[in-house]
């Protein structure tokens, strides 16, 4: 602790950092918990003939947060894979990703570095239809790229390694970057994929639409079933909850350490003030006795007990003010009763 009982700079920084991290982790946990509660409260509807009647009875012909499961079917022409024959889909994402090694001047190690240099996503309108043929009910999926969880299947992936000459290798060592190659990837949402949609379900004229919700809840288009999606979100919530508790305990521990140090400092100050008051009272009593009796003041009396003779010298301050017994009774760390300077060593005093 610094003077005046204030925490040191290190302690203050540590307390502020731990408190900030705890608040940040708790904020993330609250967001995850809100999403999990929203998923638990989402209304599960069936993709059957009763769906239109359910929406007609709902306020504004809308279910604000609904869960629906179906199979992907293209409305117009499907998208064909550029690399795989007879692979049709409704969402296609082509990605070129650069892989290279970058020299870290701090750790003196080569680290992997990845960077997307080009990405293109193509979409075509599609519906969710029942798995059983002939039901005649479809749900149009709107803005699929806005989905938080858009499950795309990787249908093609190829890595093109970089061809390097000896001169290139030397230049890479000088520049601190070594290209490894380009990875080409194609991902698609195939026609016929079983999909779970979570969002706002609305009846617009004669078309039933699934679109991003307006309450700020996440929009899901996932190949997982709803129960698995909910379990994954709840597991995520438990992880952030445990992290919040751990950071909270760490913050409490730092706060307890700072308060304990401050309490000990205040206790030492109170003890010192008590000793000073006792010393002042003893001096006043001695003066009163001297004036009453007319006797001579004991010049060599110990300033602590006022009964024994001064018998030691305190170094480094050099004060001769105490007897050996009172020196041994001083609390640790021992300080001079006169100037409060730390006593490094004691020299006995002999009177001839």
pLDDT digits (tens, 9 = 90+) for 212-228: 998 778 999 999 988 99
* Residue written as token pair 């731990």: 18
Between CA 180 and CA 100 the distance in angstroms is 5
Give me the pLDDT at residue 295, please. 42
Mean pLDDT of all residues in 153-179: 86
Q: Please report, in angstroms and rounded to a whole number, the separation of the first and last CA atoms in the chain.
A: 45
C-alpha–C-alpha distance, residues 255 and 269, integer Å: 21
Q: Are 100 and 183 in contact, with CB atoms under 8 Å apart?
A: no
Rounded to the nearest integer, the mean pLDDT of the chain is: 86
Q: Which residue has the higher pLDDT, 111 or 350?
A: 111
35, 130, 196, 257 from 63: Cα distances, Å: 17, 19, 16, 53
Query: pLDDT class for 294, splitting at 50, 70, 90?
Result: very low
Looking at residue 290, its pLDDT comes to: 61
134-148 pLDDT tens trace: 667 889 999 999 998
For the beta carbon of residue 107, count every other beta carbon within 10 angstroms: 8
Task: Give residue 96's pLDDT.
Answer: 95
329 sits in which H/E element: helix 324-329
Average pLDDT on 300-326 reads 84
Element housing 67 (H / E): strand 62-74
Q: Are 140 and 208 in contact, with CB atoms under 8 Å apart?
A: yes
Q: Which structure tokens are listed for 183?
A: 């990875």
Query: Quick one: average pLDDT of 235-247?
Result: 93
- Number of other residues whose CB lies within 10 A of the CB of residue 29: 20
pLDDT at 291 exceeding the cut of 70: no
Average pLDDT (307-312) is: 82
**Does residue 339 or residue 95 have the better pLDDT?**
95
Tell me which of 163-177, 183-197, 287-301 is least confident: 287-301
pLDDT attached to residue 184: 95
Q: What is the pLDDT of residue 298?
A: 57
Exposure string of 137-156, with b = 16+ CB inside 10 Å and e = fewer, is bbbebbebeebebbbbeebe
Partners of 309 in the beta sheet? 301
Phi, psi of 162 (to 5 degrees): -80, 140
Alpha helix positions (H), 187-323? 226-293
- The closest of 207, 222, 286, 213 to 69, measured between CA atoms, is 222
What pLDDT was estimated at residue 292? 59
Q: Determine the pLDDT at residue 202.
A: 92
CA dihedral 232, 236, 238, 240 (to 10 degrees): 180
Q: Is the pLDDT of residue 262 over 80?
A: yes
Q: How confident is the model at residue 6 (pLDDT cuts 50, 70, 90)?
A: low
Q: How far apart are CA 133 and CA 278, in angstroms?
A: 99
Q: What is the pLDDT of residue 296?
A: 45
pTM over 0.85: no
Please give the pLDDT value at position 297. 46
Q: What is the pLDDT of residue 2?
A: 47
- Give the pLDDT confidence of 67-126 residue by residue, as tens digits: 999 999 998 889 999 999 889 999 999 999 999 988 888 888 888 989 999 999 999 999
């Amino acid at each position: 602790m610094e003077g005046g009982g204030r925490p040191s700079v290190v302690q203050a920084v540590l307390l502020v950092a731990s408190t900030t991290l705890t608040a940040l982790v708790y904020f993330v946990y609250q967001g995850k918990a809100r999403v999990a509660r929203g998923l638990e409260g989402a209304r599960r509807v069936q993709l059957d003939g009763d769906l239109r009647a359910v929406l007609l009875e709902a306020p504004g012909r809308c279910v604000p947060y609904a869960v629906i499961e179906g199979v992907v079917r293209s409305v117009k022409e499907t998208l064909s894979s550029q690399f795989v024959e007879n692979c049709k889909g409704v969402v296609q994402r082509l990605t070129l990703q650069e892989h290279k090694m970058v020299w870290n001047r701090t750790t003196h190690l080569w680290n992997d570095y990845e960077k997307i240099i080009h990405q293109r996503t193509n979409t075509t309108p599609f519906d969710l239809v029942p798995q059983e043929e002939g039901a005649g009910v479809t749900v149009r999926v709107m803005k699929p790229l806005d989905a938080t969880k858009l499950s795309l299947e990787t249908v093609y992936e190829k890595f093109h390694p970089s061809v390097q000459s000896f001169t290139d290798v030397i230049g890479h060592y000088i520049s601190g970057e070594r290209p490894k190659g380009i990875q080409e990837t194609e991902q698609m949402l195939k026609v016929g994929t079983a999909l779970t949609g979570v969002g706002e379900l609305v009846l617009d004229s004669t078309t039933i639409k699934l679109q991003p919700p307006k309450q700020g809840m996440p929009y899901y288009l996932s190949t997982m079933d709803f129960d698995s999606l909910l379990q994954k979100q709840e597991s995520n919530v438990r992880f952030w909850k445990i992290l919040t508790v751990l950071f909270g305990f760490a913050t409490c521990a730092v706060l307890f350490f700072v308060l304990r140090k401050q309490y000990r400092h205040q206790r030492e100050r109170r003890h010192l003030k008590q000793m000073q008051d006792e010393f002042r009272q003893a001096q006043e009593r001695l003066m009163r006795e001297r004036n009453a009796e007319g006797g001579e003041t004991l010049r060599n009396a110990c300033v602590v007990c006022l009964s024994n003779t001064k018998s030691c010298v305190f170094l480094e301050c050099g004060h001769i003010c105490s007897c050996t017994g009172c020196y041994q009774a001083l609390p640790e760390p021992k300080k001079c009763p006169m100037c409060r300077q730390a006593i490094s060593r004691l020299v006995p005093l002999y009177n001839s």
